Structure 1
Amino acid sequence: MNSRSNDLIRLAKEFITLTFPDESYVSISGSAARGTADKYSDIDLTIYNASDQQIDKNKEFCSEIVQVHFAPLPQIEQVYKSPWAFRFLSEIKIIRDKSNLLETIQNRAIEFFSSLSGKQQMISEVQSIVKDRTMAANQFYKAGRTYSATHAAMGAWCEAAFLHMYMTERTLSTGRLIPCIRENQQLFSSLKKYSSIRECSSITDFSPILHMLREYLREQNYDLAFDLDPLQEMLVERKNERFINTGDLFNLQWQMYGEALWLYFSIDDQKTFEQFYENLPVELKRELSLIGFVPLEKQNIDGLCNLSWLLIKDYI
């Protein structure tokens, strides 16, 4: 646990005391919880309560960005049924816990995650996700929806890669995913060969691309208060600065691809990606192509899907 992480945890406790004094169950996640926070890290909080009326919020507190998420308190039966969906319990730090209930749930969850049956259940969940996304990629491609096929294939690879990383490093860090894969040169070379991300040859700040996309969504009056908050743009700028400083541009492009795709998934208007993309300004389309928004050929889609199964076959 480094000093920056300790500072963020201390501020998180102060923030909760001042802003949500009546909440009983609160945790912090991300790099602060892992003990690896740096100057670019934020405070990522989850408040567990029974209300479904509260929406996630971005706040500033003592010059730090605080992301506040609301979720139901996990039940251990849910964890046993879908451990992959609740694996975040292995990494959170609890900062408020009435009657130690959240700690009890966390300890039982961690014990299950480490058991043979827990690992097998996680693998089974990921297999199902990869299977569904692989099937979707093929169906989309046959229907001529090549962008959707690309995103489905990239999604299949991503889920399999997260399983590989969790099983080898026991971490949920999105920033560690590409470095983890890079440790196996064959896996990383295959990813670069098949994926929609093409590594840049020079240092590039991609945050203006996300800004352009958010500006477009604001102009279209999409109701995305949390995702379109200016504080989210500050977090993107910090992420860009972090990876530019480390020289890990492929990782940065992958991160920005995920950020942009998440904005599309946050839209609730029933449009296919192709319908959404068709209406984007030409300049925005050109910029998005720099972070992976390009339609893949069938051989690349098949390559990504096969690579997904390769990543998880050692755990089956």
Structure 2
Amino acid sequence: MEQNENFTDFFVLTAKDFLAEKAFPGLLYAYAGGSVGRGEADAYSDLDLNIIVEGISDHKSENCRFRGQIIQLHIHPAPTNEDVYENPWSWRYIKEARLIHDPDGRHIAWLHAMSDYLDSEEGKSKMLAQGKRIIDEYRGHAKQALSLGRGYSAFLAAWASWIEAVQLFAYFCRGTVADRTLFQMMKELGLTDEVERLIKESSEGKQDLQERMKLIAAYRDYLRSQKDGGMFALDPLNDKLLHKKVERMQRKEEEEDVWLLLFSEAIWLYLCVDPDRWLEEHWESLPRELSLPLKKLGFLEADEGLIQRIHTISDEIIARIG
């Protein structure tokens, strides 16, 4: 692709061609999300393509190669109004949906109607309440982990509560559901002093960037070798996508975002394969050559003081929402 090409248009055309060449029985409509949905695609973007299929009950995700591009394909059953009304915070991503395929033209009306609901006072009130409830659940998990002497698990739960608070702020105060700019947004608002301190603490003695990238790839490869059947998170194409995201951040000199991205990737892999065990138990199941360096990827063994510091960050962010 040439530097001056409109990347969003390129990916939209790629999506249309992909759907035209592939057979998806029961296909109702399809939309692009992520940077393509927002119209912010660049040379480092992939195509996040959601297709809605009639007659299925489960979600499925897979990576596909098509004409030199990686398509992250998400196949969903048809949603209902009640799905959105009951859990609007989980459906906030339809705000960035860009329709790719809508043969009878009726689904764009549904997306607009649901988007209007998310913008309504009822929708916004319910979304904020749901986000706050998730934060409280994470805090409860952190407290339980501390009581059991699981300091790393406690840190992870408290960190998740901070991320949820930042996502609430991003949506309500900046009108975005994009995750890739969360840290930079907090930095602009002067809300990152404590987070930067945590990053410094957790990254002392950290591996250099190439070592960390190799570690994530090795971690993914090991988990894949232990699992029967395919799992979206364990697809080796995700390593290529990770490299592209890191390269974008490096070009923008967003060092903290690179740290957060790799840390989040490790968490994603853990939660996909071992969500019912404490993080410490998961690490114990890994070869020593993986478990020891993974601990240095950004994890801290928390005590009550550290957990309270993270909760204070979250409270300051929530207070900005009003």
Aligned residue identity for 2:74: H
- The 8 Å contact of residues 180 and 257 in structure 2, kept in 1 or not, is answered as yes
Partner of 1:106: 111
What CA distance in whole angstroms lies between the structure 2 residues aligned with 1:51 and 1:194?
44
**Structure-1 separation of matches of 2:220 and 2:129:** 36
Pairing partner for 2:167 from 159, 162, 169: 162
Question: How far did 1:299 drift?
Answer: 1.2
How much is the aligned-residue C-alpha RMSD, in angstroms? Answer: 2.2
Give me the whole-angstrom Cα distance separating, in 2, the residues matched to 1:289 and 1:275.
13
- Contact 2:146 2:304 (C-alpha < 8 Å) held by counterparts: yes
d(CA) in 1 for partners of 2:187 and 2:251? Answer: 18
Shift of 1:142: 1.0
Gaps of 5+ in 1: none
Q: Write out per-residue CA displacement over residues 194-245 of structure 1, whole angstroms, 9 at most, x where no aligned residue.
A: 4674389997243212101112212323544322222111111111211122
Q: Using the alignment, how far apart are the partners of 1:108 and 1:270 within structure 2?
A: 37
1:9-68 Cα offsets, whole Å, 9 max, x none, are 110111011113541211111111111111111111111123136732211111000111
From 58, 67, 78, give the equivalent of 2:63. 58
1:194, 1:303 within 8 Å by CA — same for their partners in 2? no
Tell me, in whole angstroms, the C-alpha distance in 2 between the residues paired with 1:301 and 1:224: 36
CA contact (8 A) 1:134 1:156 kept: yes
Equivalent runs, 1:294-305 vs 2, <5 Å: 294-305=300-311
- 2:12 corresponding residue in structure 1: 9
How does the TM-score come out when normalised to structure 2? 0.90
Displacement of 1:266: 1.0
Partners of 1:36 and 1:189 in 2: how far apart?
29
**Aligned twin of 2:246:** 240
2:297 equivalent to 1:281 = no
Offset of residue 105 of structure 1: 1.9
How many residue pairs get aligned? The number is 314
Relative distance call for 1:167 and 1:293 in structure 2 (3 A) is same
Cα deviation, residue 269, structure 1: 7.4
1:68 aligns to what SS in structure 2? strand
CA distance in 2, matches of 1:53, 1:191: 37
- How many Å apart are 1:263 and its aligned residue? 0.9
Cα distance in 2 for residues equivalent to 1:207 and 1:284: 13
What secondary structure does 1:89 align onto? helix
Equivalent residue in structure 2 for 1:36, among 37, 40, 49: 40
For residues 264-308 of structure 1, the C-alpha deviation after alignment (integer angstroms, 9 at most, x for no partner) is: 111157432211111323332343234312322321111112221
2:161 is paired with a residue whose SS is helix
For the 8 Å contact 1:26–1:47, the answer to whether it is kept is: yes
Q: Is the 8 A contact 2:59 2:77 kept in 1?
A: no
TM norm structure 1:
0.92
Q: Is the 8 A contact 2:173 2:321 kept in 1?
A: no
Alignment of 1:174-253 (within 5 A): 174-185=179-190, 187-194=191-198, 197-198=202-203, 204-205=209-210, 206-221=212-227, 223-253=229-259
SS in 2 for 1:100: coil
Identity of aligned residues (%): 28
Structure 2: distance between partners of 1:99 and 1:52: 23
Instruction: Give the aligned partner of residue 85 of structure 1.
Output: 90
Structure 1 CA distance for aligned equivalents of residues 101 and 277 of structure 2: 40
Which stretch shows the higher mean deviation, 48-57 or 252-261?
Answer: 48-57
Which is worse superposed, 2-11 or 224-233? Answer: 224-233
Q: CA contact under 8 A between 2:202 and 2:296: conserved in structure 1?
A: yes
Deviation, 1:247, is 1.6
Task: Pick the aligned partner of 2:73 from 62, 68, 75.
Answer: 68
C-alpha distance in 1 between matches for 2:205 and 2:171:
28
Query: For structure 2, which runs of at least 5 residues remain unmatched after alignment?
Result: none
Deviation at 1:98, TM superposition (A): 4.1
Q: How far, CA to CA, are the matches of 2:208 and 2:9 in structure 1?
A: 32
Structural mapping, 1:127-166, within 5 Å: 127-166=132-171
Query: Partners of 1:83 and 1:269 in 2: how far apart?
Result: 24
* Aligned equivalent of 2:49, options 45, 49, 54: 45
